[in-house]
Structure 1
């Protein structure tokens, strides 16, 4: 083949390579731009779901659900109300000290949260006993000492049983019942609710875009998955607490 033809062929290769390179750089730039802006969709060659930036509100009857008013004695026999938690991000649970099954795991998970956020003065926990006839402030104090509950904004609360059950069932839609044949004599779900600084119940969305609402409190991070194949949610709860702590 004549030398001129060879040079022309090389020139064509170089030109085509340059075009491909320029196109590739442009494609990467556009993809990076979309990733930063959270606009990548399923139709793109590389589909990436942008992380949820803010936690959603739980809505009921067309309104954002807020923690209803409450007033109970804590482990130090001090009256604590929902107003005392305003300005704080806190986790809510319903438990009882003689629970033979899930409560010890729930408490250990909450102690893990306590230790994780020990440097934050605006983080707390509200633990409502569903067996207030037995769980007096004195009993709750011993329970707190046993598990290393030290956060001054972690209140173990007791009082009128009907008022506590109403708060659980109507305020949080969390199961709390006295059932004779249930382990320990009481039935409860083992779920945690997350409340923001203004008193609204918040959560992330699940994989289908629906509010998660509650966080599973009966599996530790170390355990990972329980016998039923359910995954622990303490890690995501930590992530979501951080988000709310950063909110103004």
Structure 2
């Protein structure tokens, strides 16, 4: 027999021995769930769209060493019902400040929130909180028409109105989300275009940036379809959806 044939026989024997010894062990480990057979490392929340989660847990926003919680609030919603922060306990929710006659960023923010609403359709533990900064105009009836105009279906999406000073205090002090009446601004008001993300226990949560600092809020103006704003900054709606899904699994 030629030398090369001996080599082939040797290789065949090694493969045979490997199969006899190791393959049964591998099969046994799979049967005992020692080897994971998931196609992806990401875990998904059950939503109408597939939204990936994974990675590190979202950070808490800390002030003076304490995790920042949503301040207590109580306002009337579009159905004339009194809604407080307690109505959101046990729910993950997104929070914004807006007004119905806003001619600039509010329509874009509302459309993005409807997109988020539809992505988590049917989940009882997900909600949205929208506070008007123009309560003199935005009565429950006006807010109801606005909600219907944008196709709001989530029963936990409350459009709230009430005492102007209390709303502005909630925005500027409670969340540091800027809101102000300004006669020179388009529509007569100015406000932040960011969304806050709240967990089931009422804590403000977010992911961290490349330096380990909390991002705190999510840009609410640019849509997933648009991808980038006029300055080249990337949209954060996808990020927000991923982080909502992550909190829903906590």
Higher mean C-alpha displacement, 138-147 vs 224-233:
224-233
Q: Which secondary structure state, in structure 2, belongs to the residue aligned with residue 112 of structure 1?
A: helix
Q: 1:203 aligns with which of 198, 206, 209?
A: 206
1:217 aligns with 2:239: no
Q: Which secondary structure state, in structure 1, belongs to the residue aligned with residue 212 of structure 2?
A: coil
1:120 aligns with 2:123: yes
Deviations along 1:135-179, one digit per CA (max 9) or x if unpaired, are 000000000000001100000000000000000111111001111
Alignment of 1:1-150 (within 5 A): 52-150=55-153
What residue number does 1:191 align with? 194
What residue number does 2:166 align with? 163
Q: Which secondary structure state, in structure 2, belongs to the residue aligned with residue 139 of structure 1?
A: helix
For the 8 Å contact 1:52–1:204, the answer to whether it is kept is no
Q: Which runs of 5+ in 1 are unaligned?
A: 1-6, 12-50
Distance 1:62 1:52 in 2: 24
Distance 1:124 1:194 in 2: 10
1:230 aligns with 2:233: yes
What residue number does 1:179 align with? 182
Distance 1:161 1:53 in 2: 39
Q: Which of structure 1's runs of 4+ aligned residues deviate more than 2 A?
A: none
Distance 1:164 1:214 in 2: 19
Distance 1:119 1:97 in 2: 26
Cα distance, 1:52 vs structure 2: 3.6
Distance 2:65 2:213 in 1: 16
Deviations along 1:89-139, one digit per CA (max 9) or x if unpaired, are 000000000000000000000000110001311000000000000000000
Distance 1:155 1:146 in 2: 14
For the 8 Å contact 1:96–1:130, the answer to whether it is kept is yes
Distance 1:139 1:192 in 2: 22
Aligned residue-pair number: 207
How high is the TM-score relative to the length of structure 2? 0.78
For the 8 Å contact 1:205–1:212, the answer to whether it is kept is yes
Deviations along 1:39-92, one digit per CA (max 9) or x if unpaired, are xxxxxxxxxxxx742000000122100001100000000000000000000000
